[in-house]
Chains A and B, each alone.
Chain A
Amino acid sequence: MALGEGWAARRGLEWSAVLNDGVVRGPLHRFRWEVVGAAAGFSAGGGTAPPADFEALPLGLQAFLAWAIPAALAGPSAAGVDLGRSRQALAEAERWAADITGEAGGTPARSPRGVAGSPPDPAGAPLPSGRPDPARAEPAFPPPAADVAAVLAAALGGAPAGAGPLAPGAAAVLRRLRSGPIPLPELRALADAHGTLPGSLLDALDTWAVRSTGSPATRIEGNAVRPTAEYLAAAARGEDPLA
């Protein structure tokens, strides 16, 4: 029986699922980042966690690392802990792992130092992080206390309802777009005729289009202004106000 199998069995988990499915990865990661990281300060994830740091951990943490992380993850390097360079710690950790899991003739009465609370294994005890085991939590689904949709509706409602009237220059561009792309010199001439600059003209048209159809009406490609696919689709649905 692999180390940890008994632990998994008492939680009603398939050990193969623990290994292959990653179901314990959540607590392991939390353990690794929040507890180990804070306790030892070594750079987990770099693959070069110094054995000295590992040995400096409370034995309970060493035990957990030695037993659980290499088992649940792909291997020692993925766990970011080089156990191979710390045989003595590993041996000690395995002994503690046996205590924790109640396997391999351990002495369950001993409590691992450095781990919050009593041995974390017995059903009903907290996980090593000290948080309650969600396996026992029965999630309920009360209705949300407040709906963000209302907040967003108020925020997005700051825009005018509907797009409002289309400025004459912008309407001219839209009308002209129906017969094909507008070369930039022609757009400039259109803008001049309306006493504005091409960018302002497109800005006015596209702001209107975004408010009325959800997408800009134009895009600049090469040396011409072309209708967007979204605008063409809206026009095909009869949403072109000038049609």
Chain B
Amino acid sequence: MPEVAPRDAQAILQSLQAGVVPRTGLQHLAVGRVAEVRQALAELEVLRGGGGVFKVVAGDYGSGKTFFLALVRQVALTRGYLVTDADLGPDLRLHGEGRGLATFRQLMARLGSESRPDGGALPLVLDRWADRVRAGARQRLGGPVPEGRSPALAAAVDRELRARLQPIRDQPGGFGFAAVVRHYFEAALAGDDVGTDASLRYLRGEFRTATEARQHLRLNGTEPATDATWFSHLRLLALLGVDAGYAGLLVMLDEGVNLYRIAQPEARAANYEVLLRLCNDALQGRAPHLGFYLAGPPEMVSDPRRGLHSYPALRSRLQANPFADAAHPDLAQPVLGLPPLSPDELLALLLKVKNLHAGFYGPSAVTEADAAALLRRLLARPGAERFLTVRETLRSFIQALNVLQQNPGLDRAAVLSGVEAEVTEERFVPLDMS
């Protein structure tokens, strides 16, 4: 096992104890999912090449959906992609009463790059793009760059801006977006903080009306993002990001079960309609360099009454490949099922956690045989293949390791016999009546 930096080990152990997925160091923890990770890497290359990706990650609670998304996110950031993510919930949906726009705002706030993995990368993206525009203008001039404000340089900058913004203008809603990006460029060069702030507010979807946007930007034709148009802004942002030197934009939406939970059929269908558009855009090549991952439980996909399959157009797009089965899966299809980890993978995971713990807190008396015996006991329980969640198992295991490490005199077999993996009420899917 490669040496793990103490900060990574601490972050991983703390996150696992809290039952959440660590934000860093995931490669030290990952087990299994080799084929799925390879497929995700291939899809990242599709994005880089100008294609689109739409993927529904389906797995039971605690099966590792969030971990898988975080792993793909980490790899994507390292390989020069912009990545953003949001957890859908009662207030964050894809459409309806401003909830789609709320999701878009969250996505913009959490836009991450390699240098800003935890979000807040939008101004950096814009500045990087602006620097490229300036570099391109200098190249256009060919000879030495004139000192100070020169008409020749200004004309070159203008030509460069027009050339770079044209692909954005060609997209639906692109004129207003391009105008605001240009506004940002000019304000940034002039040191006009009010101008850059107004542009950032527009790009983050913070203006509620066109009038409000016009008042702050002093630009016409700048319709702000709405519930009905926010995903178009993501498409435009992907183009801008690629022009700034990034490989593409990856959007991760977790807790997709919250769409399935929507009680009102009309509201649910409106949200599925947005998903359909995202899916169509990605699969028909209308959203270059833009990828979507949506994670949720299997019933979110397959329930014929409330799941994605209840929406006929989505059902036809997300239909499972009839030639594929659990033994011979088709990982390229839009729905990626995450099977439970196998016993050997679970054991490998426990041993990785044990080693991380020992590396950070000091040697542990727990042996590989202890971990195997523990796992054998947990797996021998009826329903283990379904209810044994990785999250709960790890949390309980780390707690036991903590106690054993701090109390060396304790009988480790007795302590480990208390490791449980409870089924939580998360497995129920209450309807969201709001």
Chain A interface: which size bin?
35 or more
A199 to B423, CA, bound (A): 46
Q: Are B41 and A155 in contact (CB under 8 A)?
A: yes
User: A33-B299, A141-B344 in contact; A26/B127 too (CB < 8 A)?
Assistant: no
B115 touches A143 (CB 8 A): no
A65 vs chain B, min Cβ distance (A): 15
B385 touches A134 (CB 8 A): yes
Q: Is A230 a contact partner of B7 (Cβ separation < 8 A)?
A: yes
Stretch in contact with the other chain, from A98-106, A111-119, A146-154: A146-154
Q: In the complex, which residues of chain A have a beta carbon less than 8 angstroms from the beta carbon of B32?
A: 144, 148
Pair A140/B343 contact, Cβ less than 8 Å: yes
Minimum C-beta distance from B368 to chain A (A):
9
How far apart sit A216 and B422, CA to CA, in the bound complex (Å)?
Answer: 37
By the criterion of a CB under 8 Å from any partner CB, how many residues of chain B are at the interface? 69
Instruction: Please give the distance in Å from A61's CB to the nearest CB on chain B.
Output: 18
**For B423, what are the chain A residues with a Cβ–Cβ distance below 8 Å?**
22, 25-26, 29
Task: Answer whether A148 and B34 are a contact pair too, CB < 8 Å, given A26-B385, A158-B78, A199-B126.
Answer: yes
Interface residues of B in 194-248 (CB under 8 A from A): none
Q: Is the CB of A233 within 8 A of B7?
A: yes
Looking at B97-105, B162-170, B172-180, B371-379, the stretch in contact with chain A turns out to be B371-379
Using Cβ atoms and an 8 Å threshold, which residues of chain B touch A200? 124, 127-128, 130-131
Contact A149 B27 (CB under 8 A): yes
Contacts of A141 in B (CB 8 A): 343-344, 347, 372, 375
Nearest Cβ in chain B — how far from A77, in angstroms?
11
Cα distance A43–B41 in the bound complex, in angstroms? 37
B24, B127, B381, B388: the one within 8 Å of A203 (CB): B127
Q: Which residues of B contact A153 (CB under 8 A)?
A: 27
Is there a chain B Cβ closer than 8 Å to A30's Cβ? Answer: yes
A204–B123 alpha-carbon span in the complex (Å): 13
> Is A224 interfacial (CB-CB < 8 Å)?
no
* In the complex, chain B residues whose CB is within 8 Å of the CB of A91: none
Does B330 lie at the interface of the complex (its beta carbon under 8 Å from any beta carbon of A)?
no
| Contact call A133/B382, Cβ cutoff below 8 A | yes
List the 6 closest A-B pairs by CB distance, nearest first: A26-B383, A199-B127, A26-B387, A206-B115, A197-B127, A139-B343
Task: Given contacts A137-B379, A200-B130, list 14 more A-B pairs with CB under 8 A.
Answer: A22-B423, A26-B385, A28-B383, A29-B386, A134-B384, A135-B381, A141-B347, A146-B34, A147-B34, A148-B31, A156-B27, A207-B115, A214-B24, A230-B7
B interface, CB within 8 angstroms of A? 2, 5, 7-8, 24-25, 27, 30-34, 37-38, 41, 71, 74-75, 78-79, 113-117, 120, 123-128, 130-131, 188-189, 191, 193, 299, 303-306, 343-345, 347-348, 372, 375-376, 379-388, 420, 422-423, 427-431
